[in-house]
């Protein structure tokens, strides 16, 4: 391949700006402005990269590692990577060439990479041609997983700003669009019609709830304007059925149909249902750790299907008899859903029941009672089905978290903004005279706490295992979690649901931390 010009300055500058800009609104403005400077192919590539939808099937992480082994001192790389914590940044810094390239558009680079007969040589030639910042952007470009604090949700908001369009119109078609997104940009530029998608094969973005402030309970409990439902402890799913075919989508839009083959809906016209996937007999949910045994099983065994049958608690309907009814009120959609269940029998579907109560104390007792629910959902009857998290319509009233004290055992660097800090922790508890792992935590701390923990880790490291540091077992961290179940998959015998750092107990000696047997005795509280 003859090198002409491979400059990624514009794209590298974009990534850098997004990474180091903390204001969400400003991030959105930056991308919207940037898109206006690109041609249609580059616009599409940029969106695909930022949303993780541009994949180079001929390039793996192993390609980069093999290139490093062939061109650089491996020991130097390991030490540098351990310190930096980010592969792209490490390669960018230690690669021997300073690069000096001219402008070349992203489309040319994509074509070169996809058509290369010797991908490692092509990558090497690019790395030699780029400056340090361009190498950083290039590695992230080809491997994906940018980790720059810019989600798909922000991409869609940027597109709405770019084209001066309503966000919900982008949300409604997003999952049916494909790279290079030319029909999307033609519409955004008022040069084409609203993109049409195949709704029978497409995931439709979920409507999400906001956290419920308990102070609002007087406003909602005395009103007939809200439905109250259990917040089931499963995984959110969407069922899309037509002509005897059923597709199951996860919350992220991933097709998980193969993991739950028993979920089938026999209908001719398009039907889209929203609900919670659970496992158990006779619609009686088992703890979440039992559902985990079914997740990611592409071909579940007959034994697994028999012991842990899946079912869906259905609480909303988006399409009925081929018609889109998302623009109708929840009250109307609920009536349609009840009507559908009256006319259709399915042993793997169960309508999510509504909660009836007379007093707020009665509601609070229901809220705290069952181990298989995460809390209560509160939904305004007049709400349309709007993609994304809309304030004032749906609320989630989650149970108060549980707390245990744990001991910091291991730490690893984070990614993106946290690549310079040890932010990922393995936490343990006492078992007889040794500390055993009970959970991992990656969130919950403040920036100030993170800095202090990072300093502690650096001063108290007793061993290194690649990017992982083992620390002196002298720091107590209070861990918050939503629930706990007995689990044979974990060394401690306990699986914690959504563990996160609550606070750092600098004042507490590690000998005061509970042992495993004491924790197990308390599990009865969580299974009540």
CA angle 290–264–236, rounded 5-degree value: 45
For residue 264, which of 293, 285, 244 has the smallest C-alpha distance? 244
Superfamily of domain 207-398: DNA ligase/mRNA capping enzyme (3.30.470.30)
DSSP string, 193-239: PPPP--GGG---PPEE-EEPPGGGHHHHHT-SSEEEEEEESSEEEEE
Instruction: Judge residue 62's burial from the number of C-beta atoms within 10 Å of its C-beta, 0-12 exposed, 13-18 middle, 19 or more buried.
Output: exposed
Contacts of 525 (CB under 8 A, 6+ apart): none
Reported as a single tens digit per residue, the pLDDT across 293-342 is 898 788 999 999 999 999 999 999 999 999 999 999 999 999 999 999 99
* Residue 416 scores a pLDDT above 70: no
| Of 4, 150, 137, 121, the residue nearest 59 (C-alpha) | 121
pLDDT at 34 over 80: yes
Instruction: Identify the top-confidence range among 288-292, 444-448, 459-463.
Output: 459-463
Inform me whether the pLDDT recorded for 480 exceeds 50: yes
Q: Which residues contact 474 (CB under 8 A, 6 or more apart)?
A: 460, 510
Contacts of 503 (CB under 8 A, 6+ apart): 449, 477, 478
- Judged against a pLDDT cut of 60, whether residue 1 lies above it is answered with no
The H or E element that residue 400 is part of is: none
Query: Residues spanned by CATH 1.10.3260.10 within the chain?
Result: 1-197
Q: How far apart, in Å, are the Cα atoms of 45 and each of 40, 49, 175, 379? A: 9, 6, 17, 39
Q: Which two tokens mark 480?
A: 């918050």
The arithmetic mean of pLDDT across residues 359-372, rounded, is 68
Q: What is the pLDDT of residue 3?
A: 41
Q: Are strands 226-232 and 310-320 parallel, antiparallel or unpaired?
A: unpaired
- What is the rounded average pLDDT of the residues 350-377? 77
CATH superfamily for domain 402-526: Nucleic acid-binding proteins (2.40.50.140)
> 473: Cβ–Cβ under 8 A, 6 or more apart, which residues?
407, 408, 409, 428, 435, 510
Indicate the angle between helix axes 74-84 and 61-71, nearest 10 degrees.
Answer: 130
pLDDT in tens, 140-197: 999 987 878 888 889 999 999 999 999 988 988 898 899 999 999 999 999 999 999 8
Q: How far apart are CA 341 and CA 318, in angstroms?
A: 14
Residue 55 has pLDDT above 50, yes or no: yes
- Of the chain, the end-to-end C-alpha distance in Å amounts to 67
Cis-peptide into 278, omega within 30 deg: no
> Mean pLDDT score of the chain, rounded to an integer?
88
Task: Evaluate whether 214 touches 179 at the Cβ level (below 8 Å).
Answer: no
pLDDT in tens, 211-254: 887 777 777 766 789 999 999 989 999 999 999 899 999 988 88
Residue appearing with tokens 């720091």 = 475
For residue 247, give Cα distances in angstroms to 94, 201, 239, 254, 306.
Answer: 47, 8, 6, 10, 21
Query: Mean pLDDT highest for which of 1-5, 95-99, 440-444, 515-519?
Result: 440-444
372: closest CA among 488, 487, 497, 493?
497
- The whole-number pLDDT of residue 526 equals 43
Confidence check: pLDDT of 388 > 80: yes
Return the CA Rg of the chain.
26
Lowest mean pLDDT among 301-315, 414-428, 454-468: 414-428
Tell me: pLDDT of 372 over 70: no
Inter-residue contact 498 to 403 (CB < 8 Å) = no
How many of the other CB atoms lie within 10 Å of CB of 79?
14
Asked if 203 and 253 touch (Cβ cutoff 8 Å), the reply is yes
- Classify domain 1-197 at the CATH class level: mainly alpha
Asked if residue 108 has pLDDT above 50, the reply is: yes
Contact 333, 327 (CB under 8 A): no
Q: Which of 13-17, 465-469, 484-488, 498-502 has the lowest mean pLDDT?
A: 484-488
Quick one: pLDDT at residue 398?
81
pLDDT at 18 > cutoff 50? yes
- What contacts 413, CB < 8 A, 6 or more positions away? 84, 85, 86, 419, 420, 421, 422, 423, 424, 467
Range 194-207 average pLDDT: 89
Q: For residues 426-450, b (16+ Cβ closer than 10 Å) or e, as one string? A: bbbbbbeeebbbbbebeebbeeeeb
Residue 37 pLDDT greater than 60, yes or no: yes
Let me know: does 237 contact 275? Beta carbons within 8 Å: yes
The better pLDDT of the pair 107, 18 is held by 18
Of the candidates 489, 494, 484, 490, the one whose C-alpha atom is nearest the C-alpha of residue 527 is 484
Higher-scoring residue by pLDDT: 357, 94: 94
Stretch(es) of the chain classified as CATH 2.40.50.140:
402-526
* Predicted TM-score of the model (pTM): 0.72
Residue 509 pLDDT > 60, yes or no? yes
Tell me whether residue 252 is exposed, middle or buried, using C-beta atoms within 10 angstroms of its C-beta: 0 to 12, 13 to 18, 19 or more.
exposed
Pairing type for strands 388-389 and 207-208 reads parallel
Among residues 52, 28, 38, 32, the alpha carbon closest in space to that of 182 is found at 38
């Amino acid at each position: 391949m003859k090198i002409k010009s491979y400059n990624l300055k514009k794209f590298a500058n974009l990534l850098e700006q997004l990474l180091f800009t903390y204001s969400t609104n400003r991030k959105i403005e930056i991308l919207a402005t940037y898109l206006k400077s690109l041609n249609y192919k580059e616009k599409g590539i940029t969106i695909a990269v930022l949303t993780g939808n541009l994949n180079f099937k001929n390039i793996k992480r192993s390609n980069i590692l093999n290139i490093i082994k062939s061109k650089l001192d491996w020991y130097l790389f390991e030490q540098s990577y351990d310190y930096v914590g980010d592969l792209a940044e490490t390669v960018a810094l230690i690669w021997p060439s300073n690069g000096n390239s001219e402008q070349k558009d992203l489309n040319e680079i994509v074509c070169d990479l996809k058509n290369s007969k010797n991908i490692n040589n092509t990558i090497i030639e690019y790395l030699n041609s780029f400056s340090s910042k361009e190498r950083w952007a290039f590695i992230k470009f080809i491997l994906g997983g940018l980790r720059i604090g810019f989600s798909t949700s922000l991409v869609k908001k940027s597109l709405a700003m770019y084209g001066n369009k309503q966000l919900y119109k982008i949300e409604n078609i997003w999952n049916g669009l494909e790279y290079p997104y030319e029909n999307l940009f033609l519409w955004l530029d008022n040069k084409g019609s609203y993109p049409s998608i195949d709704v029978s094969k497409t995931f439709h973005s979920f409507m999400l709830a906001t956290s419920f402030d308990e102070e609002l309970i007087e406003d909602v409990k005395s009103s007939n304007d809200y439905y109250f439902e259990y917040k089931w402890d499963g995984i959110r799913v969407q069922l899309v059925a037509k002509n005897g075919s059923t597709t199951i989508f996860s919350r992220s839009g991933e097709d998980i149909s193969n993991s739950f083959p028993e979920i089938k809906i026999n209908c001719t016209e398009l039907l889209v249902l929203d609900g919670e996937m659970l496992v158990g007999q006779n619609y009686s949910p088992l703890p979440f750790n039992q559902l985990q045994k079914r997740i990611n099983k592409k071909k579940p065994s007959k034994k697994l299907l028999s012991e842990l049958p899946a079912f869906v608690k259905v609480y909303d309907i988006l399409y009925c008899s081929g018609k889109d009814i998302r623009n109708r009120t929840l009250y109307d959609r609920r009536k349609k859903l009840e009507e559908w269940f009256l006319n259709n029998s399915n042993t793997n579907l169960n309508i999510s029941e509504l909660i009836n109560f007379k007093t707020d104390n009665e509601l609070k007792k229901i809220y705290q009672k069952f181990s298989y629910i995460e809390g209560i959902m509160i939904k305004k009857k007049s709400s349309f089905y709007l993609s994304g998290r809309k304030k004032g319509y749906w609320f989630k009233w989650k149970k108060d978290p549980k707390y245990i004290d744990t001991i910091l055992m291991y730490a690893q660097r984070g990614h993106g903004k946290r690549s310079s800090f040890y932010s990922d922790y393995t936490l343990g508890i006492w078992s007889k005279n040794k500390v055993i792992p009970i959970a991992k935590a990656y969130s919950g701390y403040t920036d100030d706490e993170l800095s202090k923990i990072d300093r502690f880790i650096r001063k108290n490291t007793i061993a290194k295992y690649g990017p992982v540091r083992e620390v002196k077992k002298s720091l107590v961290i209070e861990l918050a979690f939503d629930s706990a179940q007995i689990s044979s998959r974990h060394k401690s015998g306990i699986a914690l649901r959504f563990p996160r750092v609550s606070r750092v107990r600098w004042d507490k000696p590690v000998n005061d931390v509970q042992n495993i047997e004491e924790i197990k005795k308390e599990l009865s509280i969580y299974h009540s």
